[in-house]
Amino acid sequence: MEPIASFTVDHNKLLPGLYLSRRDGDIVTLDLRFKRPNTGDLLSNSEMHSAEHLIATLLRNSPQKEAVIYFGPMGCQTGFYFLFDSRLLDLAGAVELVKAVFAQAAAYQGEMPGKSAAECGNYVNLDLDTGRAVCRFYAELIRNWTVEQLAYD
Q: What is the pLDDT of residues 57-84, one digit of tens each?
A: 999 999 999 999 999 999 888 899 999 9
**pLDDT for residue 49:** 96
Does residue 32 have a pLDDT over 90? yes
98 inside domain: yes
Contact call for residues 113 and 53 (beta carbons, < 8 A) = yes
128 inside domain: yes
31 inside domain: yes
CATH number at residue 35: 3.30.1360.80
What is the percent of the chain where pLDDT is above 90? 79
The C-alpha atoms of residue 118 and residue 97 are separated, in whole angstroms, by 29
Buried b (16+ CB within 10 A) or exposed e, 2-11: eeeebeeeee
Print the domain residue range for 38: 5-146
152 inside domain: no
Q: 35: closest CA among 5, 9, 66, 13?
A: 13
**What is the mean predicted confidence (pLDDT) over 34-61?**
89
Tell me whether residue 50 is exposed, middle or buried, using C-beta atoms within 10 angstroms of its C-beta: 0 to 12, 13 to 18, 19 or more. buried
Amino acid in position 142: I
Q: 105: closest CA among 35, 52, 42, 46?
A: 52
**pLDDT for residue 35:** 80
For the chain, the domain total comes to: 1
The C-alpha atoms of residue 73 and residue 31 are separated, in whole angstroms, by 10
**pLDDT for residue 76:** 83
Task: Give, to the nearest 10 degrees, the angle between helix 91-106 and helix 45-59.
Answer: 120
151 inside domain: no
Does residue 53 have a pLDDT over 90? yes
Residue 110 or residue 3, greater confidence: 110
**pLDDT for residue 36:** 66
Q: What is the pLDDT of residues 90-107, one digit of tens each?
A: 999 999 999 999 999 999
